[in-house]
Amino acid sequence: MITKRIIPCLDVKNGTVVKGQNFKDLRDISSPVELARYYTENGADELVFYDITASAEGRRLFGEILEETARQVFIPLTVGGGVNTLDDFDRVLKKGADKVSVNSGAVRDRTLIGRAAKLYGDQCVVLSVDVKRVGGQFHVFVKGGREDTGLDALSWIRYCVGEGAGEIVVNSIDTDGVKKGFDLPLLKEVCAAVNVPVIASGGAGCIDDFITLFEEIPSIDAGLAASVFHYGQVRIDDLKNEMAKKGIPVRLSK
């Protein structure tokens, strides 16, 4: 049986992890490579690296980090942030990324997902979409959630899956940072709309939030979070043990 995935997301800026905290068994919390290894040893099923630098120097450092991580961590690595062209895909795939996540870039260039899927395969292309309710409708936002595109989120997701997106990360701006649980109504609608894996993001504050997600939406594939893992409110091994107790299919580390 396929297991539900738990995915920590690491924001990387100028070569260091932005959010982080004092894990006692970790020497350098700001090192993305160390943090990646720590999460992997604690049961992370996959890692997302999000590049929030804009400078060329930041990009170069990001590439080095990715390469170093790929040398040490043998689970899937997804890279997002600043992916606007096929050259961006090529740049991160060569450094060891397995999947590439596109967000604003796919809105700007509506052919990007289709061209990338044809070249690298559907499984390599992840659509990441930031969604917020506007007048009772789900709208797609870009530029880190600052700009409303006016696009209907469900139509946009269906279009991108049609173009070849192999997975969808749904980030709810309404629940993000609130730590009161994932956006279940939005996620239910997305799961009903498409037949590719859907990853929930935004709103996790405790272990129960993940349990509720997987129990309420059996067709959701994974839960992604950043700060609850980085600040130690949720330890991945504790979370997965709890999921197993509740009968949710999960991969337990040996």
The token pair that represents 194 in the structure block? 């498409």
Q: Which stretch binds another protein (CB under 8 A): 29-37, 51-59, 94-102, 235-243?
A: 94-102
251 lies in the site for another protein, by CB under 8 A? yes
Q: CA dist 117 to 87, 122, 209, 253, Å?
A: 14, 5, 33, 32
Site for another protein (CB under 8 A): which residue of 24, 27, 146, 254?
254
Let me know if 130 is a catalytic residue. yes
Q: Which residues partner with 152 through β-bridges?
A: 139
The token pair that represents 56 in the structure block? 């060329």
Q: Which stretch binds another protein (CB under 8 A): 28-36, 89-97, 129-137, 230-238?
A: 89-97
- The residues in 166-195 that bind another protein, with binding defined as CB under 8 A, are 166-167, 195
Is the Cβ–Cβ distance between 40 and 76 less than 8 Å?
Answer: no
Let me know if 174 is a catalytic residue. no
196 lies in the site for another protein, by CB under 8 A? yes
Pairwise CA distance, residues 20 & 11, whole Å: 9
Is the Cβ–Cβ distance between 101 and 80 less than 8 Å?
Answer: yes
248 lies in the site for another protein, by CB under 8 A? no
Note the residues at the interface with another protein (CB under 8 A): 1-3, 5, 40, 45, 67, 70-71, 74-76, 93-98, 119-123, 166-167, 195-197, 219, 221-222, 251, 254
